[in-house]
């Protein structure tokens, strides 16, 4: 099993969501997981249910606390929870 599939399973991601890139830096004690969806994927409108294209695909980062210590996904810690 490749790391991307392992982390997608561990996070409980369901299609179309997936981990598409994993990097780990020992020196920084940093694990980066990039969560994405297949290009061209359409999502159901929450109001009418019609399949609509995605308009916002910019990178978002957040830092989270983890039981084993702080875990950072990059970005500014003041951006926690803002997506």
Assign 73 to helix, strand or coil: coil
Q: Give the chain's domain count.
A: 1
Q: What digits encode the pLDDT tens for the residues 18-49?
A: 999 999 999 998 999 999 888 888 988 889 99
Note the pLDDT of residue 78.
Answer: 38
- Of 22, 23, 24, give the one whose Cα is nearest residue 9: 22
Q: Is the pTM of this model over 0.75?
A: no
Q: What digits encode the pLDDT tens for the residues 60-80?
A: 666 555 555 555 545 433 333
Confirm whether 34 is domain-assigned: yes
**Is the peptide bond prior to 16 cis by the omega test (within 30 degrees of 0)?**
yes
Q: What digits encode the pLDDT tens for the residues 49-62?
A: 999 988 766 666 66
Confirm whether 83 is domain-assigned: no
Confirm whether 43 is domain-assigned: yes
Range of the domain at 36: 3-77
């Amino acid at each position: 099993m490749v790391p991307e599939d392992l982390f997608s399973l561990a996070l409980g991601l369901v299609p179309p969501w997936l981990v598409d890139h994993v990097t780990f830096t020992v020196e920084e004690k940093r694990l980066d997981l990039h969560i994405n969806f297949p290009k061209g994927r359409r999502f159901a409108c929450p109001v009418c249910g019609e399949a609509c294209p995605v308009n916002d695909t910019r990178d978002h980062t957040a830092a989270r606390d983890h039981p084993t210590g702080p875990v950072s996904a990059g970005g500014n810690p003041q951006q926690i929870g803002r997506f």
